[in-house]
Chains A and B, each alone.
Chain A
């Protein structure tokens, strides 16, 4: 069982961010421990004298080579389709990939994606040959529109970025899975615990993208490993077929020949 991203099959269903770790060394160890083969990164203005960007880039290249993985540049910080398209083109030139985590933020308070600008950007980028992985809200119609545009991968949020609140609206997420059976669905943002990731996989999601839950753990390397295992458990549970819930109790132990039964009659 593998994760399919635009025809590329990956062994791990976990996509992991490269930010917020206590150190670059811990970042590398955590990514390796997670088993992930897709690492997100970004572009920003930087002070060239510090050469920080050059160092991080070198470090991430080492990690990607070691895990035989893929870079997934994002458009974090963009607030319009125009900004996102420009940043996407800059990313493609540097990172030599047409994969793109498309982010267009519409609200500064909860960093909620702007659905209208997101659709505009996705359409332009797909027409320009990008393989777009849009980060979006858990709105069924928005996800449907993105899929209809040609986004083979859709990434609805679990909850706002960095909150760790987990799956705010499981009903919406289950409905998106049900209505878009052929889309690759990756739950992105707001994951806090390994059980959140497991729950997404039990719903039939194809993968999970997270960053803060690992990077901000007391022990990021151990937490990365825990998430990798949680995804496997959830996926296997989904494939195995989860039993239907029932309204009344049913004894697990056979009732035939129950001892002491009717002993007073």
Chain B
């Protein structure tokens, strides 16, 4: 299956879905040391739901981090 994280495709073989927690390990080397928040297909996913929320083929994750703003 294919998922997208911040617009980039991540092909995953031998899986029909993975948890948000697992998907984050594809993106971050050390997720626990980063400040970020997650949306799945445009809907917010709270940190407490990372283990139980599944990412399926074609889904898109947005992983956002703080930046300067006006």
Contacts and interface: CB of A to CB of B under 8 A. Distances in A.
A48 interface: yes
A42 B44 CA distance: 16
Interface in B10-45: 27-29, 34-39, 42-44
Contacts of B37: 43, 89-91, 93-94
B41 to A, nearest CB: 10
B42 A18 contact: no
Contact of A48 (B7, B27, B62): B27
Nearest to B46: A93
A20 B34 contact: no
Interface residues on A, range: 35 or more
Nearest to A189: B70
Task: Indicate the member of B38, B42, B66 with the most A CB atoms within 10 Å.
Answer: B66
A2 to B, nearest CB: 23
B29 A45 contact: no
A27 interface: yes
Contact of B64 (A19, A44, A74): A44
Interface residues on B, range: 20 to 34
A244 B6 CA distance: 57
B43 A40 contact: no
B39 A42 contact: no
A70 B8 CA distance: 34
A219 interface: no
Nearest to A43: B64
Contact of B35 (A18, A83, A94): A94
Pairs A-B, 6 closest by C-beta atoms:
A42-B69, A53-B65, A17-B70, A211-B70, A90-B37, A89-B44
A45 B69 contact: no
Nearest to A16: B70
Interface in A147-189: 161-162
Contacts of A54: 34-35, 65
B63 interface: yes
Interface string A71-96: 00110100000110011011101110
Contact of A41 (B46, B63, B69): B69
A46 interface: yes
Nearest to A85: B44
A86 B39 contact: yes
Nearest to B66: A57
Nearest to B24: A48
Contact of A161 (B42, B63, B68, B70): B70
B63 A82 contact: no
B70 A45 contact: no
B42 A83 contact: yes
B32 to A, nearest CB: 12
